[in-house]
Amino acid sequence: MKDHINAIYKNHSQFYKILLFVVTTILIVFFFPKSGRFKYNFEKGKPWQTENLYAPFNFGIQKSTNEVKKEETLITNQTTHFFNKEKGIEAEVIKDFKEGFNKTFNDSLNNYKGLKSKANSILNTFYKYGILNENLDLKNSNKAVILIDNVEKQTTTYKNLQKLGTLKNSIEKQLKGTSLETYSNKLTALFFDVIKTNLTYNKALSDNVLKEALDKISKNRGVVDKGTLIISKGEVVNDEKFQVLTSLSKEYESQVWSKSSYNWIVFAYTLLVSLALLMLLLFIRKYRKDVYKNNTKVTFIFFNVFVMVLLTTLIVNYNSEYVYLVPITILPLVLKAFFDARLGLFTHVITVLLLGSIVPNSYEYMFLQIIAGIVTILTVSELYKRANLFISVGQITLVYIIAYFAFFVIHEASVDNLKWETFGLFILCGLATLFVQPIIYVYEKLFGLISDVSLLELSDTNSKLLKELSNKAPGTFHHSLNVANLAEASANEIEANAMLVRVGALYHDIGKMKSPIYFTENQSSGINRHDELTPRESAKIIINHVLNGIEIAKKYNLPDRVIDFIRTHHGTSQVYYFYMKEKANNENVDIIDFTYPGPKPFSKETAILMMCDSVEAASKSLKDPTSSKIDNFVENIINKQKDSGQFLNADITFKEIESIKKVLKRKLANIYHLRIEYPE
């Protein structure tokens, strides 16, 4: 039992990866749609490539979206509107009009009998059907309407209903050309004083009637019986065949599956998802060993894959037309920011392959997304520069639009029915991609990772910690700047992460702030404090600057990748000067007491810092430097580190070490303003 527990503890990292693999697979399959999928691919205008297809069951031929929309528009235009007619208003208005007329036209010398008769006639015309309290602005004025009161219903057309806004024109029109036209203004004013609306639009009833009519629209326009030949091999998929095949595909995917069939579908999806994730895991294991060894990083990658699958699945389940709204190019952007372009692209392709089994038009979708991912990897560089991200997002959006346009023309052979709203989805997708910056910041906090954006902020020499270093240990600060310049040049030479190694160099000696006077570069008075200490005490102070640096870095919340440079910049080397000094007095000296705790550098970047730090520090002791002296000096220091096994854990080659030597020799020659020694 104990052996089993020890084995599990020893291989806990592998067990964690297996658990992560299983959990991610289960979660992705859980969110996948569990319907069957039509096993044939077909395109309008292209020949049917497979065997003759017969109907596997009875199914209806679904109407196209345009056909359904035309029917809906027709029904909407023909559906009756309902208005409530309020009784009693007309009698009240007639009474008020009579009183108002007698007051307005009270001249006893004139006979207004004809005017009064005409006015009553106009009033009766207004209330024949009624006066609306609002104008519905219907396009079809001949549309049937029904007027409802408490007793009866009255049918007419919308144009026969009187509207308040047209009352004046109606009065003037009926009086024009008659002897009564001179009374038009007075009569109009009287009408507006007494007239009241008696028709109110019954929206609830009208909407219900329209909804019932729309619900009765049949989605099908025919039936295909089981066993009927749908299409023959080599036959071109025309509009009619395309609609039949599309109907069969949708019917097949919406079938109610038995429990046995459902389980088989889940099992098949599990196989596909696990196979894709396994390929991703094997790729990381073979080509990104440092990432594979770090469970946090592997979890981060799988988490991002799951998030993209989840977002896309939710959108597809809601409305598959919005599938291009998901900013899937955020995935390669994020992975490139934290890792590298190759891992970002491979993960992106695996994710797109997973999504290809659930999205409509899978070939078109996968082509567009893979091309967009490639463009993302090729165009986005130096993400910390804001202009670069905007330019890259514009290029990605343009590629989306061009590729979609090409596919549409291939399918439709014209641009008449081009869906311009899809271009809008691509633009919105591009805008959503701009949120990658805050997403990267959140990921840094959640997973303890570091991106170039944070590295740029840390490289600012005006930061609080570096300012404190320059104040407390100015010599160390100057040394760190020199090392940073050497390390950055060396990293560029062998294509390592120059920004990371520069930041690591700036902070690698911050531990010297605790006792700056004990380090040579900060001794400006010419007094050496080590003269007052034993070699063992001096060595302890020198070695402790690594541990003090780690403590200070954690206090200031520096990322772990930066702290790695503090831990490894001396590796397991010795404080040789004090060791030899102690040995001169005592033969029985344990070299462990004069050895840095390590660990040794375990990446190209940390190895570069060790070389540059040693060379820069030791170069201060050079007297009368010449090109040959500098060459021998650099060779001796780096060869000593190499021979002592300091670079065994670092992923760096002999060729790269030689390239770094050349850079350091050239840089030191420039620092000391040396000319090339020409042969005599």
Domain boundary pick from 413, 447, 481: 447
221-231 pLDDT, tens digit each: 778 888 788 88
326 burial type by CB count under 10 A (0-12 exposed, 13-18 middle, 19+ buried): buried
Nearest-CA neighbor of 398 among 419, 416, 379, 384? 379
Distance (Å, whole) CA 226 – CA 229:
9
Measured CA distances, 572 to 568, 591, 610 (Å): 8, 11, 11
- Per the model's pLDDT, the better-predicted residue between 49 and 348 turns out to be 348
Q: Are residues 416 and 467 in the same domain?
A: no
H/E segment holding residue 211: helix 203-215
pLDDT band at 572 (very low <50, low <70, confident <90, very high): very high
Look at residue 355 and tell me if it is in a domain: yes
Tell me 516's DSSP state.
Answer: G
The predicted model gives 449-475 an average pLDDT of 89
- The confidence score (pLDDT) of residue 559 equals 87
Domain boundary pick from 447, 462, 497: 447
Q: Which residues is 59 bridged to in the sheet?
A: 224
Distance (Å, whole) CA 109 – CA 653:
123
Look at residue 54 and tell me if it is in a domain: no
5-54 pLDDT, tens digit each: 555 556 778 899 999 999 999 999 988 876 655 666 676 777 776 778 88
CATH, residue 471: 1.10.3210
Angle at alpha carbon of residue 554, lines to 548 and 558, rounded to 5°: 115
Strands 59-62 and 220-224, bridge-based pairing: antiparallel
Report whether 468 contacts 462 (CB < 8 A).
Answer: no
Domain boundary pick from 198, 213, 228: 213
Longest dimension (CA), the chain: 147
Report whether 448 contacts 560 (CB < 8 A).
Answer: yes
Which three-class secondary structure state does DSSP give residue 570? coil
Nearest-CA neighbor of 430 among 398, 393, 388? 393
Report whether 600 contacts 649 (CB < 8 A).
Answer: yes
pLDDT value at 108 more than 60 = no
Mean pLDDT lowest among 349-353, 380-384, 500-504, 534-538: 380-384
- The confidence score (pLDDT) of residue 286 equals 92
Look at residue 15 and tell me if it is in a domain: no
Q: Are residues 557 and 570 in the same domain?
A: yes
- Helix ranges, 510-603 (H): 535-555, 560-568, 576-585
Report whether 630 contacts 670 (CB < 8 A).
Answer: no
Which three-class secondary structure state does DSSP give residue 398? helix
For the ranges 227-231, 491-495, 525-529, the one whose mean pLDDT is highest: 491-495
Report whether 392 contacts 374 (CB < 8 A).
Answer: no
Count the Cβ atoms, other than its own, within 10 Å of residue 488.
22
Q: Are residues 437 and 469 in the same domain?
A: no
- Please give the backbone phi and psi of residue 169, each rounded to the nearest 5 degrees, phi first: -65, -40
Listed in sequence order, the residues at least 6 apart from 175 whose beta carbon sits closer than 8 Å to its beta carbon are 118, 181, 183, 184, 187
Rg (CA), the chain: 42
H/E segment holding residue 221: strand 220-224
- Per the model's pLDDT, the better-predicted residue between 586 and 519 turns out to be 519
588-605 pLDDT, tens digit each: 788 888 899 989 998 999
- The confidence score (pLDDT) of residue 335 equals 92
Instruction: Output the six-digit token pair for 570.
Output: 């001396």
- The confidence score (pLDDT) of residue 9 equals 57
Question: Percent of the chain at pLDDT above 90?
Answer: 31
Q: Are residues 378 and 399 in the same domain?
A: yes
Domain that holds residue 150: 73-213
Instruction: Output the six-digit token pair for 117.
Output: 């008769």
**Does the global pTM surpass 0.85?**
no
- Per the model's pLDDT, the better-predicted residue between 220 and 460 turns out to be 460
- The confidence score (pLDDT) of residue 627 equals 82
b/e map 338-359, b = 16+ CB within 10 Å: bbeeebbbbbbbbbbbbbbbbb
The predicted model gives 537-558 an average pLDDT of 92
Which three-class secondary structure state does DSSP give residue 44? coil
Which three-class secondary structure state does DSSP give residue 49? coil
Q: Are residues 328 and 388 in the same domain?
A: yes
Look at residue 296 and tell me if it is in a domain: yes
What DSSP string describes 280-328?
A: HHHHHHHH-HHHHH-HHHHHHHHHHHHHHHHHHHHHHHH-GGGGGGS-T
Look at residue 230 and tell me if it is in a domain: no
pLDDT band at 369 (very low <50, low <70, confident <90, very high): very high
Q: Are residues 486 and 546 in the same domain?
A: yes
pLDDT value at 110 more than 70 = no
Angle at alpha carbon of residue 59, lines to 53 and 61, rounded to 5°: 90
Across the chain, what does the average pLDDT equal?
Answer: 84
- The confidence score (pLDDT) of residue 192 equals 80
238-249 pLDDT, tens digit each: 778 888 887 777
Q: Scanning the structure block, which residue is given the tokens 């308040």?
A: 164
Q: Are residues 459 and 390 in the same domain?
A: no
Look at residue 10 and tell me if it is in a domain: no
Ramachandran bin of 128, using left for φ above 0, alpha for ψ from -120 to 50, beta for the remaining angles: alpha
Report whether 41 contacts 365 (CB < 8 A).
Answer: no
pLDDT value at 255 more than 70 = no
Report whether 487 contacts 612 (CB < 8 A).
Answer: yes
The predicted model gives 174-183 an average pLDDT of 72
Q: Are residues 630 and 536 in the same domain?
A: yes
- Per the model's pLDDT, the better-predicted residue between 380 and 567 turns out to be 567
- The confidence score (pLDDT) of residue 24 equals 94
Look at residue 122 and tell me if it is in a domain: yes
Q: Are residues 376 and 516 in the same domain?
A: no
Mean pLDDT lowest among 21-30, 228-237, 270-279, 346-355: 228-237
- The confidence score (pLDDT) of residue 521 equals 87
Q: Are residues 442 and 460 in the same domain?
A: no
The predicted model gives 297-322 an average pLDDT of 91
CATH, residue 406: 1.10.1760
Q: Are residues 482 and 399 in the same domain?
A: no
- Helix ranges, 459-534 (H): 464-472, 474-493, 498-507
- Per the model's pLDDT, the better-predicted residue between 151 and 208 turns out to be 208
The total of structural domains in the chain comes to: 3
Listed in sequence order, the residues at least 6 apart from 675 whose beta carbon sits closer than 8 Å to its beta carbon are 627
- The confidence score (pLDDT) of residue 7 equals 56
Report whether 298 contacts 14 (CB < 8 A).
Answer: no
601-610 pLDDT, tens digit each: 989 999 999 9
Look at residue 282 and tell me if it is in a domain: yes
Measured CA distances, 67 to 71, 325, 612 (Å): 6, 26, 73
Q: Are residues 384 and 514 in the same domain?
A: no
Report whether 64 contacts 243 (CB < 8 A).
Answer: yes
pLDDT band at 679 (very low <50, low <70, confident <90, very high): low
Count the Cβ atoms, other than its own, within 10 Å of residue 452.
20
The predicted model gives 391-404 an average pLDDT of 88
